[in-house]
Amino acid sequence: MVNFKEEIAKEIANSVNLNWTDLETYIEIPKNLDNGDYSFPVFKLAKELKKAPQIIANEIKQTIKINEDIIKKVDIVGGYLNFYINKDIITKQVLETIENNPKFINSQIGKGKTVLVEYSSPNIAKPFHIGHLKTTVIGGALYNIYKALGYNTVGINYLGDYGTQFGKLIEGYKLFGNEYDLTEDAIDKLADIYMRINNLCKEDESVLNNARENFKLLEQGDEYCVKLWKEFKELSLKEFQKIYDLLGSKFDFITGEAFFATKTEEVVDILKSKGKLVKSEGAMVVDLADKGIDTPCIILKSDGSTIYATRDLASILYRARTYNYDKSIYITSYEQNLHFKQIFEVAKLLGLDEKYTDGLEHVPYGFVRLPTGKMSTRLGNFVKVETLLNDTIEQAYKIIEEKNPDLEDKQEVAKKVGIGAVIFNDLATSRIKDEIFDINEMLNFQGETGPYIQYTYVRTKSVIEKVDAIPKFKDIKIEKLNDEYSQKIIKLLYNFENTLIQVTEKNEPSILARFLIDLSKAYSSFYNENKIIVEDEEIRNARIYLTIAVGKILKQGAELLGIQMPNKM
């Protein structure tokens, strides 16, 4: 398809003698269709050109060369140059692309580039909490979208499976293990053991010392400690897989901190050789004050053992050498902002090519709250993720039973609707914003929700089922789709690929979620205002073909977010 933004940017660049690639980033799509298809904010050039925006706008309009087959009109409104695209060209290109390219993606932006996406990353022997649900969903969406744009994408589940807490858990199992049957609800029982031993460690210094000794033994490969640790890990992964199966989550590699525990010596040696390790309160740290980070990065604790930051640094070395990545993103809560600032700075001291350290990126997200407030295991208002997902499916089933009791495969549809509602709720707003987890709100079929998008898709399927013969693109009269409701859909479809690119530029899946809501709303308006199954064959075929296009993009976009579409609801 013609890249209209690029064409406009190049013509403006010729007029003002500036780089077109910079100008292209300024071009906007107006919310009001009366202001054209694309707008260029001329005031952004005022400082560089040392002229008033109105003068610049008039000069560009007078000197710009317009291909009238593509651009029908250019006008000036305030500080903007507005461009009106030939409707027939954009309509033809959109529908023809959907006919010839089912995925509607032509971009080669990711060709030859590798992106690592680290997400989910739960702690073993602890419940899979709501924050891990969010990183799993955000990471899954980004993984899918990068892959769709041609990147060599590697999904990594980096388990929290190492550290002093396991020394405590081993000690707790020694003391209390015979009280528990771990063949059922293993994670809950391990969490209970950990809570008990943690409290005991606070009360009795000798118990804490025993726990520390256990972790040292684990690091040294002690047979008993390693055996217990492996059992805890296997039990945890078995429980986590139930959640991943519900969500449809998949990973290319599942590793953990333990994998890098034996690879930290190189990190320590490099930092020592460069004179970057200094002693602080018995620990060995890297001082980052000159980088604007007041808190030093601990590399070795006072007892000489490593810390998770050391293991993260070892993983950066390993991933750079193993994957030759262009970008490596970490999806965790914003509570870990300081940690990633520290390790990204320290990584620059490890002798890696700048490509690797420049490619490191933390993708933070906000808290998830219940309508009654913040969740807390300590306060007892914590919701298990598996319970939450099953409750949402059950609630979706009740709604379907009430609205369409004769629907076939109700349980399977309820699963798609319930899980889709949860995923969309996690992705619908900017990831950094705190989120309210309200089952009733996320299952609202009339709101800006996952079920609303699914319902719109089902509506497109219903329309198509009423047609005896599906029209071919060659039989479509493009001019029959020039009304405002059709054109709004066409413009949205045209920007689908660009929407995916924007997602990767900001690592923000909500951009795609917003697009799907906008497309669903646009189709609802089109459906309500334009009768589709009409006697006029040319109008009928054009509107049916547009309906097919909408259905394809809704399905593809939703699946990129990790949401499955039912065929009926």
Here the CATH number for the domain that contains residue 454 is 1.10.730.10
| E-strand stretches of 264-413 | 277-280, 283-286, 297-300, 327-333, 360-365, 368-370, 373-374
Give me the pLDDT at residue 211, please. Answer: 93
| 266 and 405 assigned to the same domain | no
Q: SS3 of 458, please?
A: helix
Residue 540 lies in a domain: yes
Residue 247 lies in a domain: no
| 512 and 406 assigned to the same domain | yes
Residue 307 lies in a domain: yes
| 412 and 547 assigned to the same domain | yes
Domain boundary among 67, 85, 103: 85
Query: Residue 507, by phi and psi: left (phi above 0), alpha (psi -120 to 50) or beta?
Result: left
How many residues in the chain? 569
Among candidate residues 389, 381, 396, 399, the one with its CA nearest the CA of residue 423: 389
Give dist(CA 39, CA 555) in Å, integer. Answer: 30
Q: Which two tokens stand for residue 155?
A: 């999904």
Residue 45 is given by DSSP the state G
Here the CATH number for the domain that contains residue 14 is 3.30.1360.70
Residue 490 lies in a domain: yes
Residue 220 lies in a domain: no
| 492 and 432 assigned to the same domain | yes
369 sits in which H/E element = strand 368-370
What angle (nearest 5°) sits at the alpha carbon of residue 503, between those of residues 154 and 495?
125
Q: Which two tokens stand for residue 124?
A: 């073993």
pLDDT tens by residue, 250-293 = 999 999 999 998 899 999 999 999 999 999 999 999 999 999 99
| 451 and 541 assigned to the same domain | yes
Domains: count for the chain: 3
| 290 and 428 assigned to the same domain | no
Give me the pLDDT at residue 547, please. Answer: 97
Task: Give this prediction's pTM.
Answer: 0.92
Residue 126 lies in a domain: no
Among candidate residues 317, 141, 333, 122, the one with its CA nearest the CA of residue 232: 122
Residue 214 lies in a domain: no
**Chain centroid to CA 352:** 27
Among candidate residues 560, 561, 553, 562, the one with its CA nearest the CA of residue 457: 553
Give dist(CA 226, CA 239) in Å, integer. Answer: 20
Residue 186 lies in a domain: no
pLDDT per 10-residue tile (average), the chain, 569 residues: 87 90 89 84 91 91 84 89 91 88 83 97 89 93 97 97 92 95 91 93 94 90 95 94 95 94 94 95 95 96 88 97 98 95 98 97 87 49 78 94 92 97 94 84 91 97 93 92 94 93 96 97 96 94 96 97 96
Query: What's at 418, amino acid-wise?
Result: G
Residue 106 is given by DSSP the state -
| 398 and 547 assigned to the same domain | yes
Give me the pLDDT at residue 440, please. Answer: 86
Residue 248: half-sphere exposure toward Cβ, Cα within 13 Å: 18
pLDDT tens by residue, 540-552 = 999 999 999 999 9
The mean pLDDT value of the chain amounts to 92
Task: Outline where 101-222 has alpha helix (H).
Answer: 130-148, 164-176, 186-203, 205-219
Positive or negative: CA dihedral 246, 251, 253, 258: negative
Residues pairing with 106 in the sheet: none
| 305 and 400 assigned to the same domain | no
Q: SS3 of 156, please?
A: strand
Q: How far is CA 217 from CA 177, 206, 228, 354, in A?
A: 19, 16, 12, 37
Domain boundary among 39, 64, 85: 85
| 394 and 540 assigned to the same domain | yes
Supply the range of the domain harboring residue 278.
262-331+338-351
| 549 and 411 assigned to the same domain | yes
Task: Outline where 428-509 has alpha helix (H).
Answer: 439-442, 450-465, 484-494, 496-506
| 524 and 402 assigned to the same domain | yes
Residue 21 burial (CB count, 10 A): 11
Q: Which two tokens stand for residue 310?
A: 């050391």
For residues 328 and 151, the answer to whether their CB atoms sit within 8 Å is: no
| 531 and 444 assigned to the same domain | yes
Domain boundary among 85, 119, 142: 85
